[in-house]
Amino acid sequence: MNISRPRPKLDAENRAFWTGGSEGKLNIMRCGDCGQYTHPPKLLCRHCQSENVAPQAVAGTGVIDTYTINYQAWMPGLEVPFVIARVKLDGVPGVYLTSNIVGCPVDEVEFDDRVRVTFEEQDGIWYPLFRKAG
């Protein structure tokens, strides 16, 4: 996709999420005390307020929970249409990632499609995108 994505400011909380793609890993913060996940990444568990949290690589698969097709070229050079989807991650209860579905025509995207993460690197940030699986 030809999108210049908004660049996150890396810090101790989000670095593992935005750079995990360099190792092919989708890292989500997990609590060492209650075992629950916290996203967006924070150094504090959103379930039990423990500071015993650390990034953990998750499966990187999931299903499309909801999506929309963007037809608007709202900035120069943007290739349209493209799909913005909310992906419910396998094995990561309560965590949804809003991202793009790439690698297929937009009219082949449906609710509940199975997807798998893929990464697009721009300037040291590995953006997690999703492709249809299988």
Which residue in the set 3, 50, 61, 120 belongs to the binding site for Zn ion (CB under 5 A)? Answer: 50
What is the dihedral angle through the alpha carbons of 52, 19, 96, 105, rounded to the nearest 10 degrees? -170
Site for Zn ion contains 42 (CB under 5 A): no
Residue of 118, 116, 64, 108 lying closest to 86 (CA atoms): 64
Tokens in use for 127? Answer: 């953006």
Which residue in the set 16, 29, 31, 58 belongs to the binding site for Zn ion (CB under 5 A)? Answer: 31
Interface stretch with Zn ion, choices 8-16, 23-31, 97-105, 116-124 (CB under 5 A)? 23-31
Which residue in the set 10, 13, 15, 34 belongs to the binding site for Zn ion (CB under 5 A)? Answer: 34
Which residue in the set 29, 45, 92, 97 belongs to the binding site for Zn ion (CB under 5 A)? Answer: 45
Residue of 46, 33, 70, 63 lying closest to 134 (CA atoms): 63
Kindly state the smallest distance separating residue 58's Cβ from Zn ion, in Å: 16
- Backbone torsions φ then ψ of 126, nearest 5 degrees: -100, 100
Contact residues toward Zn ion (CB under 5 A) are: 31, 33-34, 45, 47-48, 50
